[in-house]
């Protein structure tokens, strides 16, 4: 079949363009596969917080598919420009438009198959290796991978969709031009790009709306659609802004004659401007990938850092037992006996009676009991006498005043309205009787009322009794002791809290989330590195000729180096700036996700973000230096 | 001038400090060019030499104006200075209207005139041209050669490599190269272009006959 031969010929002949295309496309297939395999090939769904993990993974998947589609689309546009000339030649030689369509179809199908095969093999290998190494590193056994064909089928379908769009677009392009134009089209050299004010404004508007949505929405099940809209807007906006704004920026720089007519700027600005249409898309991809690296790293590192917070929040004392009735004397004796057995001394033993926490939401100052996907809080109450006794404080309250212990929330209202009554609120920082009822994932609020009657008005449920004490001894003994107490008293595990058991519990719980975060970060870092590398290499070959001419005219090696540095520096600082900007607007979303886990702590988030950004900038600089070397070697040899 | 493969480009490249001679030395204005460092030769090229190539070698990334400015920008000259330099030059070369277009938008003859402007804007001691008319039709070639003649009359030294007798007849002096050696020289003196053309042809015939004798 001659069409197949011609398609193959095109592919091989323009390998300078088609190889990078296959390469970058395969990376997208790989990443998409890894996301899909995490969703469908692991037991992440069934883990604790699996629903949340799944939710985040699906958002990540959509994000990746969008970037993949846009950058594939863009890269193919450039390829098809190259192809037009060949097609024009064929049509002059007598091939009909139908034949040309068949060639386009075959060529794209070839690309599709090559990319799917390479990408899937890479994806399977990578996720297998990553799972094995991370498992041995983190020691989480709660997460398993079992191979199914489902992700492969999905990845094939997703990219089939992308390629069908591309093919349709190519067909449309064929329709518009007659053979004479086809022939002339690619010999028309790339014109200096125009500034598109309208597109730039559209891009900025898309970004702003996307940012607004992401800042305002809360990560509840109901907001999934809004999150997707935000992601679509931010991705599309980033592409538009990078493509248009970078052109405008360069044009402004070029207009400024004092800046432009300096040796370094002269060469770099015009080189960049000449290639900016391709560049803009590439920079947007890099910037979005960097954003995702930052988000994934910050979220997972915060998760690790936040665990201690969470432990203190969930069990302010070493052991806390929650029960429907106060502990019997025999139970207490058993505890003391066990303490002796395990060489444990106990201190700060206490007991508080609080009303059984009821679940609900806070809207403004109103607490509304409610149990569904929107549920965020549990509320329970106790009387002031118990609190003052427990904490050794001396608070006084009027009937319409309450103390409020709500760790991990930023409740700024001065009043709270519960069960139709409004109370004046005073926030307290400490409550040793705090516990997480049934280990639910909601944030606990404890309200201290002036007397038991008001406490009942606040939350008309029966009392539960929290008895807690601190333990002192070796870590191992403390853990053994806690386990022994739980077994001996036959307390339901969900109503028994020990710091040490909690720690293990959290490790198992967040292990999978952490694992996922690290895996995503690694994948994204690899992808970014390779894309940056390929960008440098392909641009090196494109610029080689120009630098040779300039060296003949009198550009020395040293000046070449300077010009390259100036060029690459500009190109490579833009995505980082974009990524940090994106991150700033993604932080509220990260914050909300962390808040779900009661892990939000401003200080940790700020420190982690700062460190992550620094690490990213450093690694990025290293990649930049290494790839600049590659570029320079290509250009000057 | 000389046949293809005679060593014309090699000699020009050595004068241009782009190549190194295996033996002998090249002196220009009392400077020995064979012992310059990479940096020095770059600077030397920028300050003393102008280049015109057969394939124009304009940079697609620059507008025609910026292509012409390139050597001056590399020498860190102020913008006003470049502007003043370009004005008379573009008039002589007839490229005033092309300055703000891209090299890809103009014809070969026009490209070569832009390239000549780029070579002349630094007031080089010597303008080196390697078959500058090789890729042009006779009409455009003539225009280019006329330009060379004109600037030569104003005192600009031009060293042009060619294998066309027509092109050679515009020169004041012609060196013949064969097998890497200078074989013969001719001076135009007061002769008309046609007389000089005839002399070059005679000399070439002699050169070929000589070959038969060998
Ligand atoms: N003086 C010389 N001695 C030895 N080899 C030479 C000499 N001059 C030129 N050559 C060789 O002859 C070949 C052709 O030279 P070139 O300058 O490209 O010819 P032209 O430009 O006249 O067509 C080159 O490979 C070059 O190395
Ligand atoms: Mg030659």
**A195 with A247: CB under 8 angstroms?**
yes
The token pair at A187 is 């010999």
The tens digit of pLDDT for each residue in A566-612 reads 877 777 788 888 899 888 888 887 777 777 666 667 778 888 888 88
DSSP, collapsed to helix, strand or coil, labels residue B127 as strand
Rounded CA separation A282/A259 (Å):
25
Q: Best of B50, B59, B78, B86 to disrupt the A interface by mutation (most A CBs within 10 Å)?
A: B59
Instruction: Work out which ligand 1 atom sits closest to the CA atom of B3.
Output: 22
The token pair at A364 is 């403004």
Going by their DSSP bridges, the two strands A319-323 and A496-498 should be labelled as: antiparallel
Task: Identify which of B125, B129, B121, B124 has the alpha carbon closest to the alpha carbon of residue B51.
Answer: B129
Instruction: Please tell me if residue B16 touches chain A, with a CB cutoff of 8 Å.
Output: yes
The token pair at A459 is 């939350």
More confident residue, A350 or A194: A350
Domain map (residue ranges) of chain B? 8-208
Distant-in-sequence, close-in-space partners of A355: CB < 8 Å, separation ≥ 6: A380, A381, A382, A455, A456, A458, A459, A460, A461, A462, A463, A464
A408 alpha carbon, distance to own chain's centre: 22
Residue nearest to atom 15 of ligand 1 (CA): B7
Distant-in-sequence, close-in-space partners of A74: CB < 8 Å, separation ≥ 6: A278, A281
The token pair at A253 is 């720089």
Instruction: Please tell me if residue B69 touches chain A, with a CB cutoff of 8 Å.
Output: yes
The tens digit of pLDDT for each residue in A351-404 reads 888 898 888 888 878 888 887 767 778 899 999 988 898 888 888 888 888 999
A554 φ/ψ sector (left φ>0, alpha ψ -120 to 50, else beta): left
**B159 with B127: CB under 8 angstroms?**
yes
Instruction: Please tell me if residue B194 touches chain A, with a CB cutoff of 8 Å.
Output: no
Task: Identify which of A116, A124, A164 has the alpha carbon closest to the alpha carbon of residue A146.
Answer: A124
A618: exposed, middle or buried (Cβ count in 10 Å: 0-12, 13-18, 19+): exposed
> Predicted confidence band at A60 (pLDDT cuts at 50, 70, 90)?
confident
Rounded CA separation A493/A484 (Å):
12
**A80 with A62: CB under 8 angstroms?**
no
Rounded CA separation A467/A231 (Å):
47
Q: Cα–Cα distances in Å, from A94 out to A89, A97, A183?
A: 9, 9, 13
**A531 with A356: CB under 8 angstroms?**
no
The token pair at A515 is 């694992």
Task: Identify which of A414, A410, A406, A407 has the alpha carbon closest to the alpha carbon of residue A447.
Answer: A406
Choose the weakest-confidence range: A113-122, A342-351, B158-167. Answer: A342-351
Give the alpha-carbon dihedral of B45, B46, B47, B52, to 10 degrees.
Answer: 70
Predicted confidence (pLDDT) at residue B204 exceeds the cutoff of 90: no
Pick the CATH number of B8-208 from 3.40.630.10, 3.10.20.30, 3.40.50.300, 3.40.50.880: 3.40.50.300
Task: Identify which of B188, B187, B190, B127 has the alpha carbon closest to the alpha carbon of residue B159.
Answer: B127
**B42 with A551: CB under 8 angstroms?**
yes
The tens digit of pLDDT for each residue in A282-302 reads 888 888 988 888 888 888 787
Give the alpha-carbon dihedral of B30, B35, B38, B39, to 10 degrees.
Answer: -40
- When pLDDT is averaged across residues A66-75 and rounded to a whole number, the result is 85
A574 φ/ψ sector (left φ>0, alpha ψ -120 to 50, else beta): alpha
Distant-in-sequence, close-in-space partners of B142: CB < 8 Å, separation ≥ 6: none
Task: Identify which of A528, A490, A424, A388 has the alpha carbon closest to the alpha carbon of residue A64.
Answer: A528
Going by their DSSP bridges, the two strands B49-52 and B126-130 should be labelled as: parallel
Rounded to 10°, the helix B79-93/B138-153 angle is: 120
pLDDT value, residue B214: 46
Whole-model pTM?
Answer: 0.73
Contact A270 B62 (CB under 8 A): yes
Give buried/exposed letters for A544-566 (b at 16+ CB in 10 A, else e).
eebbebbbbbbbbeebbebbbbb
pLDDT value, residue A528: 84
Gap from CA of B11 to ligand 1 centroid (Å) = 8
Choose the weakest-confidence range: A77-86, A96-105, A150-159, A243-252. Answer: A77-86
**B166 with B173: CB under 8 angstroms?**
no
Rounded CA separation A212/A216 (Å):
6
DSSP, collapsed to helix, strand or coil, labels residue A314 as helix
CA closest to B17 among chain A residues: A552
- When pLDDT is averaged across residues A450-472 and rounded to a whole number, the result is 87
Distant-in-sequence, close-in-space partners of A629: CB < 8 Å, separation ≥ 6: none
Gap from CA of B207 to ligand 2 centroid (Å) = 19
**A391 with A385: CB under 8 angstroms?**
no
pLDDT value, residue B213: 44
C-alpha triplet A455, A460, A466: angle, nearest 5°: 65
Query: How many residues are given for chain A?
Result: 637
Instruction: Please tell me if residue A190 touches chain B, with a CB cutoff of 8 Å.
Output: yes
Whether the CB of B5 sits within 6 Å of ligand 1:
yes
**B52 with B115: CB under 8 angstroms?**
yes
Rounded CA separation B10/B27 (Å):
16
Number of alpha carbons in the 13 Å side-chain half-sphere of residue B161: 25
Going by their DSSP bridges, the two strands A345-355 and A377-383 should be labelled as: unpaired
pLDDT value, residue A249: 83
pLDDT value, residue A251: 87
Q: What are phi and psi of A218, to 5 degrees?
A: -105, 140
The tens digit of pLDDT for each residue in B121-141 reads 998 989 999 999 988 899 999
Give chain A's count of helices (H) and strands (E): 18, 11
The token pair at B71 is 């050597």
Helix ranges, A363-474 (H): 384-391, 452-458
**Helix (H), strand (E) at residue A12:** helix A2-13
Whether the CB of B7 sits within 6 Å of ligand 1:
yes
Rounded CA separation B67/A515 (Å):
55
The tens digit of pLDDT for each residue in A74-132 reads 778 777 777 777 777 777 777 788 888 888 899 899 999 999 999 999 999 988 887 78
Q: Best of B42, B64, B122, B126 to disrupt the A interface by mutation (most A CBs within 10 Å)?
A: B42
Mean pLDDT of chain A: 82
Whether the CB of B4 sits within 6 Å of ligand 1:
yes
Local structure of residue B106 (DSSP, 8 states): S
């Amino acid at each position: 079949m001659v069409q197949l031969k011609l398609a193959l010929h095109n592919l091989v002949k323009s390998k300078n363009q088609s190889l990078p295309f296959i390469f970058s496309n395969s990376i997208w297939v790989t990443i998409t596969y890894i996301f899909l395999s995490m969703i469908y090939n692991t037991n992440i769904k069934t883990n604790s917080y699996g629903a949340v993990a799944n939710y985040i993974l699906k958002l990540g998947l959509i994000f990746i598919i969008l970037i993949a589609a846009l950058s594939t689309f863009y890269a193919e546009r450039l390829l098809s420009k190259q192809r037009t000339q060949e097609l024009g030649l064929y049509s002059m030689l007598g091939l009909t438009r139908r034949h040309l369509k068949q060639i386009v179809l075959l060529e794209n199908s070839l690309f599709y198959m090559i990319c799917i095969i390479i990408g899937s093999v890479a994806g399977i290998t990578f996720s297998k290796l990553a799972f094995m190494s991370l498992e041995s590193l983190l020691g989480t056994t709660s997460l398993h991978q079992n191979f199914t064909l489902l992700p492969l089928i999905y990845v094939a379908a997703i990219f089939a969709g992308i390629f069908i769009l591309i093919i349709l677009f190519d067909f449309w392009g064929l329709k518009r031009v007659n053979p004479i134009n086809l022939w002339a089209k690619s010999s028309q050299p790339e014109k200096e790009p125009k500034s598109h004010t309208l597109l730039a404004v559209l891009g900025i508007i898309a970004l702003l709306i996307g940012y607004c949505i992401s800042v305002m929405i809360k990560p509840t099940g109901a907001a999934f659609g809004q999150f997707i809209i935000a992601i679509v807007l931010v991705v599309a906006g980033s592409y538009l802004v990078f493509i248009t704004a970078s052109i405008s920026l360069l044009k402004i720089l070029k207009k400024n004659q004092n800046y432009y007519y300096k040796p370094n700027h002269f060469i770099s600005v015009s080189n960049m401007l000449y290639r900016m249409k391709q560049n803009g898309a590439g920079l947007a991809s890099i910037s979005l990938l960097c954003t995702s690296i930052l988000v994934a790293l910050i979220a997972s590192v915060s998760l690790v850092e936040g665990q201690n917070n969470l432990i203190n929040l969930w069990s302010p004392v070493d052991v806390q037992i929650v029960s429907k009735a106060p502990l019997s004397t025999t139970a207490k004796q058993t505890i003391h006996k066990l303490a002796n057995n395990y060489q444990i001394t106990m201190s700060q033993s206490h007991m508080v009676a609080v009303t059984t926490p009821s679940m609900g939401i806070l809207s403004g100052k109103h607490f509304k009991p409610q149990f569904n996907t929107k549920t965020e809080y549990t509320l329970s109450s106790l009387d002031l006498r118990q609190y003052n006794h427990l904490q050794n404080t001396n608070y006084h309250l009027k009937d319409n005043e309450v103390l409020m212990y709500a760790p991990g929330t930023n409740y700024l209202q001065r009043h709270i309205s519960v069960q139709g009554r409004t109370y004046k609120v005073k926030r307290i920082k400490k409550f040793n009787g705090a516990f997480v009822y049934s280990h639910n994932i909601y944030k606990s609020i404890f309200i201290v009322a002036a007397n038991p009657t008001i406490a009942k008005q606040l939350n008309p449920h029966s009392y539960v009794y929290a008895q807690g004490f601190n333990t002192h001894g070796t870590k191992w003994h403390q853990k053994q002791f806690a386990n022994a107490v739980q077994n001996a008293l036959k307390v339901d595990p969900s109503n028994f809290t020990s710091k040490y058991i909690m720690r293990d519990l959290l490790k198992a719980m967040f292990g999978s989330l952490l694992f996922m975060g690290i895996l995503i970060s690694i994948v994204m870092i690899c992808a970014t590195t390779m894309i940056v590398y390929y960008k440098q290499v392909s641009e090196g070959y494109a610029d080689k000729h120009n630098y040779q001419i300039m060296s003949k005219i009198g550009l020395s090696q040293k000046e070449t180096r300077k010009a390259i540095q100036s060029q690459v520096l500009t190109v490579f600082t833009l995505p980082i700036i974009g990524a940090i900007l994106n991150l700033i607007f993604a932080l509220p979303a990260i914050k909300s996700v962390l808040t779900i886990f009661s892990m939000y702590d401003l200080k940790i988030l700020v420190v982690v973000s700062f460190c992550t950004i620094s690490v990213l900038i450093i690694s990025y600089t290293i990649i930049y230096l290494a790839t600049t070397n590659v570029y320079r070697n290509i250009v000057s040899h | 001038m000389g046949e293809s493969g005679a060593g014309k480009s090699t000699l020009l490249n050595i004068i241009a400090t782009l190549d190194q001679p295996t033996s002998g030395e090249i002196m220009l204005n009392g400077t020995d060019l064979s012992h310059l460092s990479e940096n020095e030769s770059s600077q030397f090229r920028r300050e003393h030499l102008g280049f015109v190539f057969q394939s124009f070698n304009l940079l697609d990334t620059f507008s025609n104006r910026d292509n012409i400015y390139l050597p001056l920008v590399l020498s860190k000259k102020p913008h006003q200075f470049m502007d003043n330099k370009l004005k008379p030059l573009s008039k002589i070369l007839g490229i005033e209207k092309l300055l703000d277009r891209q090299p890809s938008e103009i014809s070969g003859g026009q490209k070569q005139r832009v390239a000549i402007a780029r070579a002349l804007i630094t007031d080089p001691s010597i303008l080196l041209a390697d078959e500058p008319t090789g890729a042009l039709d006779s009409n455009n070639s003539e225009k280019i050669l006329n330009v060379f003649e004109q600037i030569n009359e104003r005192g600009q030294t031009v060293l042009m490599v060619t294998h066309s007798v027509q092109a050679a007849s515009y020169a004041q002096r012609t060196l013949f190269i064969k097998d890497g050696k200078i074989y013969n020289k001719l001076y135009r003196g007061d002769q008309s272009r046609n007389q000089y053309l005839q002399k070059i042809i005679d000399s070439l015939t002699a050169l070929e006959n000589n070959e038969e004798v060998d």
